[in-house]
Amino acid sequence: MASCPHCHSHNLKHRTLGRTVAGSVGGLAGGAAGVAGALNGARTGAMAGVVAGPIGSVLGSIAGAALGGLLGSKIGCEVGSAVGDSLDANVLDNIECIDCGHTFRL
Ligand SMILES: [Zn+2]
């Protein structure tokens, strides 16, 4: 059983700072990339929809934009969380003492 090097308490908890922060940043970056993807998707959808006439073109752009935005944000968040996980595991202090607030690595 691990104990705090500062006060020798056994009341420890895992910290997931890297995952939380990197996951949010990744989600935001992915969302921004998703907007660019959405514009591309809208254009592609509109071109594909032209075959089905004006209504098909409108529906195609909406579907393309929605897919591009969703995918970008989801992928960004997952990549960010993966990076954060490895930060938590390899770089950051990953254990926090509940009693004295000391953080350290195990
Ligand atoms: Zn402590």
Domain boundaries, given as residue ranges, for the chain = 17-82
pLDDT reading at 3 higher than 90: yes
What local confidence, expressed as pLDDT, does residue 56 receive? Answer: 77
First to last CA, the chain: 11
Cα 57 to the center of its chain, rounded Å: 32
Instruction: Report the separation in Å between the CA atom of 18 and the middle of ligand 1, taken as the mean of its atom positions.
Output: 21
What local confidence, expressed as pLDDT, does residue 90 receive? Answer: 83
Given a contact cutoff of 8 angstroms between Cβ atoms, the answer to whether 60 and 49 are in contact is yes
pLDDT reading at 6 higher than 80: yes
Phi-psi label, residue 58: left if phi above 0, alpha if psi -120 to 50, beta otherwise: alpha
What local confidence, expressed as pLDDT, does residue 4 receive? Answer: 95
Phi-psi label, residue 37: left if phi above 0, alpha if psi -120 to 50, beta otherwise: alpha
Residue in 19, 17, 15, 28 with CA at minimum distance from that of residue 82: 19
pLDDT reading at 39 higher than 80: no
Instruction: Report the separation in Å between the CA atom of 82 and the middle of ligand 1, taken as the mean of its atom positions.
Output: 29
Instruction: Report the separation in Å between the CA atom of 16 and the middle of ligand 1, taken as the mean of its atom positions.
Output: 18
What local confidence, expressed as pLDDT, does residue 16 receive? Answer: 85
pLDDT reading at 53 higher than 90: no
Instruction: Report the separation in Å between the CA atom of 19 and the middle of ligand 1, taken as the mean of its atom positions.
Output: 23
Average pLDDT value over all residues in the chain: 83
DSSP symbol at 103: E
What local confidence, expressed as pLDDT, does residue 98 receive? Answer: 95
Rounded mean pLDDT of 87-102? 88
